[in-house]
Amino acid sequence: MSPSTTFENISEVILEELNINKKLPLNQEVEITFNVEGSNELVFGCHMDKMFSGKIIKN
């Protein structure tokens, strides 16, 4: 997964289930590597109580 941001208010991505909290520098790609076992869906979001959020769905 390589999220990046061009929006100043999204400064990090959080995957609580995997204890991942990664900073997203403006206009730079950031690689986040993880293994998913068990759950088919992971919820991710920003540091503002997931005001911006989404799901990663495992096939």
Render pLDDT for 2-56 as a digit per residue (tens, 0 to 9): 555 555 667 888 888 889 898 888 888 888 888 777 777 888 888 776 678 888 8
pLDDT computed for residue 2 by the predictor:
54
What is the rounded CA–CA span in Å between residue 19 and residue 39? 15
pLDDT computed for residue 6 by the predictor:
53
pLDDT computed for residue 3 by the predictor:
55
Residues in Cβ contact with 2 at an 8 Å cutoff, skipping those fewer than 6 apart: 29, 30, 31, 32
pLDDT computed for residue 47 by the predictor:
75
